[in-house]
Amino acid sequence: MLPSVNFGNYEHIAGITGAFTSIEIDLMKEILRDWQKSPGEPYTLLELRDGKTLVSFAIIHRASGRNFTFDIRFIVLDRDYRSGTAIQHLFHMIDDELLKKLPFAVIRIEISTTKKNSLGDEALENAGYCQVGHIPGYYGIEDDFYLYIRAIFRKPPNFIKISKPFEDDLSSAAPLEELHTQN
């Protein structure tokens, strides 16, 4: 059994962000207790400290039924460190942790406007996450739902840029009239 961990620090910095409800903080504590019983299965906890001070942390969860997809369940940054680079260091830690175990991973994060703002301006975009979903007012007035995603690779594939997809294939394709007469 792992030594007892005081989750009060996690609760404290989540609470002072103003971005998490008491129910969300209770859920976070429950997840941390599950993590303590079996680190890495299904949750991974990463934390960033400034000496002994907890600055930021993330709780990552392998998506159910997926080998290479992970959800960031909680990502929290102490408000006193918002103007620095702490959150970017935490995102690098997430990438490094996942790529230690896997050749590639897809990372998803569902986040509200309030939580997104608590991470700092453009934190997700600066870390390479792409917004793939947005529902205005989902959590309340001016508190939207966002879905961000990012793919990371241990050895990135050699992607090529195509200016006009299928351009060459179109010129050699049979005209539409010929396709109807062939059937």
Give me the domains of the chain, ranges plus CATH numbers.
8-182 (3.40.630.30)
pLDDT at residue number 82: 87
Question: Using 50, 70 and 90 to split pLDDT, how confident is the model at 169?
Answer: low
- Spatial neighbors of 14 by CB under 8 A, at least 6 apart, are 20, 24, 25, 28, 74, 76
When comparing pLDDT for 17 and 165, which is higher? Answer: 17
Q: What average pLDDT score do residues 143-157 get?
A: 92
Question: Using 50, 70 and 90 to split pLDDT, how confident is the model at 107?
Answer: very high
CA separation for the pair 58, 40 (Å, rounded): 13
Residue 133 has pLDDT above 50, yes or no: yes
pLDDT at residue number 158: 80
Percent of the chain with pLDDT over 90: 66
CA separation for the pair 131, 73 (Å, rounded): 17
pLDDT at residue number 40: 81
**Degrees (nearest 5) of the Cα angle 33, 120, 106?**
60
